[in-house]
A = this chain, B = another copy of it.
Amino acid sequence: MRLTVDTINPHVVAAKFAVRGEFAIKSEEYQAKLARGDKDLPFDQAISAHIGNPQQLGQKPITFFRQVLSLLENPQLLEKEDVMIDALDYKPDVFSRARFLLKNVGSVGAYSASAGVPVIRESVAEFLKRRDGYSADASKIYLSAGASSGITTLLNIICASPNTGILIPIPQYPLYTATLSLLNATYVPYNLDELKHWGTDLDTIRESYNAAKASGTDVRAIVVINPGNPTGASLSEEDVRSILEFAAQENLVVLADEVYQANVFIGKFHSFKAVLRKMQEEDPKYGGVELASFHSISKGMVGECGYRGGYFELCGFDPDVEANIYKFVSIMLCAPVIGQCLVELMVNPPKQGDPSYELYKKESEGIFEGLKQRAVTLYKGFAEMEGVECGEPQGSMYLFPTIKLSQKAVDAAKAEDRSPDEFYCLKLLETTGICVVPGASFGQKEGTLHFRIAFLAPGVEWVGRIVKFHKDFMDKYRG
């Protein structure tokens, strides 16, 4: 055998990515069993709450988006506009949008330019201008295969040696630490403040930064996930501003993961780009800040994870560095073109007065309200549960409650060679079919335990299942 786990790339072996690991695999096995009609599981439905995958849990796609895509897939349908409108309820703006895209994209079966279809990059720039009130440059926008591929691109560029450090929040989405493992670069963790709704705390960040610098690490960038994953936090403008201030001071690149920007229930989303431009207007000393911000079609009310679409925007980057980013993305040729088209639809949805507008509005508001209701239901469920604490849902698709477990439970976990949160989540999965991810997979402050749960599954019955499981678990392991 040429390749063994002892001889392959040790950085791959070292990488961890639990959101798709053991529990996810077990959950898929349960689903396959149930689909086969197997009756020996103690539940009749397996719920994937371990990942933000709305349509797998029954969220319906936006009709306008999918109607346009059906025409892009089969442009012959354009020749039968009357039939599609009369019998199939397509609206004229579905046709005009499909024609516009096909004219500019060509076939969706052709590779696009490496950084994406030019006209779609322009649509994104228009969207950013409307969102932020500041101009955006299409040539600084790169269409990517989901936000994940954009983020790995930037980390590949920035990480030059094992000594390169990147500030990453704790808890974080594990793409960051997994990619740093693969790149053999240094993870410089900074704790988010659970007591302040998982907001950023600049003193904590500075402390982590200084400690890393003191130990010789070349800290080059800071990652912020806003709204938070797994935390659900939604940062205030002041928090965003203070991070940019710090980045300017310490000459750090800012990587702003803003894929949940449309999933904000309390307050308002403050983009790093808008706040940066405002600061730059106020004071030229912020002119040199390098910011990369990421967005995706997988989240928000779009929820089209399967298409792998997204984009990133660069501000303040050196043109020669941009040329290397272009080269890096070109090696994979281009982002999926249908996903690029969905990016265009996301950033440029039907407007008031357009034939498809009313339905679009109704559907997207329905999704938003549904998510909010489920978040609140789950939050109330947690409020009932002994030893569980959880802040009010602010944004994203997750809650990240703290759990306090008895010593007996901790010992039982140890006996199975698992961390207590892992043990708890495994028992939850085995008992209820509900798959969540232990806090350890995202990082958590020493001595605390959490889990991440997506509030996407329809109905409320499953929340009752968690409440009941928890009670039984606590009783079983009562000291």
Contact = CB atoms under 8 A, between A and B. Distances in A.
A83 B152 CA distance: 45
A316 B2 CA distance: 10
A135 to B, nearest CB: 21
A175 B4 contact: no
Nearest to A113: B28
Number of copies: 2
A109 B307 contact: yes
Contacts of A80: 87-88
A446 interface: no
Contacts of A252: 2
Nearest to A321: B3
Contacts of A41: none
A67 B73 CA distance: 7
A304 interface: yes
A365 to B, nearest CB: 19
Interface in A323-343: 323-324, 327-328, 330-339
A61 to B, nearest CB: 5
A156 B12 contact: yes
A394 interface: no
Given A160-B8, A324-B5, A337 B107 contact: no
A288 B1 contact: yes
A145 B20 contact: no
A66 interface: yes
B303 A109 contact: yes
A13 interface: yes
A53 B333 CA distance: 11
7 contacts: A2-B290, A8-B324, A28-B113, A80-B88, A109-B303, A146-B333, A152-B331
Please give me the 6 A-B residue pairs with the lowest Cβ-Cβ distance, nearest first.
A306-B337, A20-B330, A56-B110, A55-B107, A70-B74, A55-B110
